[in-house]
Amino acid sequence: MKVGFIGTGDMGNPMAINVVKAGYDTVVNTRRQFRAQNILDAGASWAETARELGEQCEVVFTALPGPKQFEDVLTDPQNGLLAGLKPGSAIFDTTTNSPVVVKKVAELCQSKGVQLLDSPISGGSTGAAAGTLTFMVGGDRATFEKYLPVLEAMGKNLFHLGDVGTGCMAKLITQYVGYCNLITAAEGMLTGAKAGLDLGTLYKIMPVSAGSFRAFEPFFKMILQRDFGTEETGGVDMIAKDLMLGNELAEAVGAPHRMGEWAYAQYKKAQEEGLGGYALWAAVKPLEEMAGAEIKGEIKE
């Protein structure tokens, strides 16, 4: 069985490496070939186009920036993935995607005898490298079970949720909760700053109190140290996109999303201030401007 991988960025690259390490004959394609060089060095082969990759592979994993890139890669009439895939093959899309886009493209795939399963992931680049990602999968159950061994090369927590689109919905909800929490925590830390508390000590209290959430320690350690990455990190742009999609989902199903709207507004403000390319926690900077204070301090051992 040949396994294809399209998109070898921060997440796709270590995922593809783990597939190669698991012994699968792997073919890769990405916009910039140098981003896949380590995978090729590990034993994978290169395809010049998505279509060429599809012609060789039984199952393909895509890890792309967003809905537009996903749709373009799959449906381009000349070099798109669907132009190359044979009937009976399958696609697992790990992009944080729009349920509307996924369902539309899945119908096109079905008309060509191809199964599309939306399979967004969680766990960050650390989880991708360790092979411990969480997969949230929507689509044909039999196809999910058939390719479980490949998924197990990349993930530890593998969930099948139901029909196509349900994986995307689950991922958007987890993003909604997680990144609204970041804005809420920033407001709390700024309250501490304005109140004159030692933020290094407050940082240590949060994970052992009601203020705990999974991302607090890594994110706020970087904020306290004023480390917001570089203009190429791209985190604010990514989370702004995810929260926009999460709010759209809530709107579509008639659920309240006032926290999501407020949080999205902060990420959008960070983008407007030229911070879109920086690490996602750079979204706290507009809040700091509003407060007239900064979240910075020494973390004492």
Domains of the chain from N-terminus onward: 2-162 (3.40.50.720), 170-291 (1.10.1040.10)
| Average pLDDT of the chain, as a whole number | 95
CA distance 161 to 138: 5
Residue 222: predicted pLDDT: 95
Q: Which residue has the tokens 């795939």?
A: 109
pLDDT grade for 231, boundaries at 50, 70 and 90? confident
Active site residue ranges: 171
CA distance 166 to 172: 10
In DSSP terms, 29 is beta-bridged to 6
Checking if the pLDDT of 49 tops 80, the result is yes
CA atoms within 13 A on the CB side of 208: 5
pLDDT grade for 126, boundaries at 50, 70 and 90? very high
Q: pLDDT tens digits for 74-121?
A: 999 999 999 999 999 999 999 999 999 999 999 999 999 999 999 999
Checking if the pLDDT of 300 tops 90, the result is no
CA atoms within 13 A on the CB side of 138: 21
Checking if the pLDDT of 301 tops 80, the result is no
Checking if the pLDDT of 15 tops 80, the result is yes
Checking if the pLDDT of 208 tops 80, the result is yes
Checking if the pLDDT of 233 tops 90, the result is no
Residue 214: predicted pLDDT: 86
SS3 252: helix
Q: At what angle do helices 235-253 and 258-272 cross, to 10 degrees?
A: 150
| Whether the Cβ atoms of residue 58 and residue 2 lie closer than 8 Å to each other | yes
In DSSP terms, 155 is beta-bridged to 133
Phi then psi for residue 233, to 5 deg, are -65, -45
CA distance 161 to 167: 6
The pairing of beta strand 90-93 with beta strand 59-62: parallel
Residue 240: predicted pLDDT: 95
